[in-house]
Amino acid sequence: MAQVGTQGCTLLLAGCGKMGGAMLDGWLTAGIASSVAVVEPSGLPESLRGNPAVILASGPDSVPAEFTPDVVVLAVKPQVMDSVLPAYRALVRPGTVFLSVAAGKTIASFESALGEGAAIVRSMPNTPAAIGRGMTVAVGNPVVTEVQKSLCDSLLRAVGDVAWVEDESLLDPVTAVSGSGPAYVFLLVEAMAKAGEAAGLPAELAMRLARATVAGAGELLHQSPIAAADLRKAVTSPNGTTQAALDVLMAGDGMQPLFDRAVAAAANRSRELAK
């Protein structure tokens, strides 16, 4: 087994779809993984074929016996997780931590399938991880050591920012805010473009303006240490055009109560799916 640290660990990746593939690209680019065994029935993405650090396996039982992973990353779809997990129970050992990036699957469900002695980290990334700008929140069970937590943190940071919580129940609102959040932003772009059309803009120009404005504002927010509320105030002149729009959006029946209901609905659904 490799010396566990932020460089040169051995990984087994179960599932190499969009999220798994994006994370694997990040790990290889950052030099975190020295060797990776990938269990993916549909084969490797084109970008990973021929990479000497990557081994393709049809299942965990076909991984070379001498390959003992420091981390088993579970990136299969949540709806098939229960059916594939039992095959990974043979990999449970003190030196291995299981890192899940599957939505809605609780630590208890992993412990049931893998055994209570398994070190398990449950995480909730979001789709901007595909471009290295993800936001992930993670929580570990009591078996996870500080070294294993640090290793999982390094793996997750290869595709964006990471926050850790002690209370697993927080992952339901986390899912509602950041996990589902990119869809809200895309909807905002759609809504802005449609409003622009209604105000008289050609459809193509309205969409171009909406996309560029949201992307640019997001990058400004990313690069600036200034609070979002202060950035908003900085572009709002008293009695100006922006203020006229914000008077509507920030009214008692405007965006905030709508977002409150939307996030609550998503969090409730996350709880239901975890049962």
User: Is there a contact between 203 and 193 (Cβ–Cβ < 8 Å)?
Assistant: yes
Residues near 275 by beta carbon (within 8 Å), at least 6 away in sequence: none
- Output the known binding site for NADP(+): 42, 75-78
Q: Judging by DSSP bridges, how do beta strands 119-124 and 134-140 pair with one another?
A: antiparallel
Stretch (H or E) spanning 147: helix 146-157
Taking the C-alpha atoms of residue 55 and residue 271, their distance in angstroms, rounded to an integer, is 36
Other beta carbons within 10 angstroms of residue 17's beta carbon come to: 13
For 250, list phi and psi in degrees, rounded to 5. -100, 15
Taking the C-alpha atoms of residue 156 and residue 173, their distance in angstroms, rounded to an integer, is 19
How many DSSP H helices and E strands does the chain contain? 10, 8
- Output the known binding site: 42, 75-78
Beta strands per DSSP E along the chain: 9-14, 33-39, 54-57, 71-74, 97-100, 119-124, 134-140, 160-164
For 53, list phi and psi in degrees, rounded to 5. -85, -5
User: Is there a contact between 10 and 33 (Cβ–Cβ < 8 Å)?
Assistant: yes
How many residues are recorded in the chain?
275
Taking the C-alpha atoms of residue 188 and residue 207, their distance in angstroms, rounded to an integer, is 11
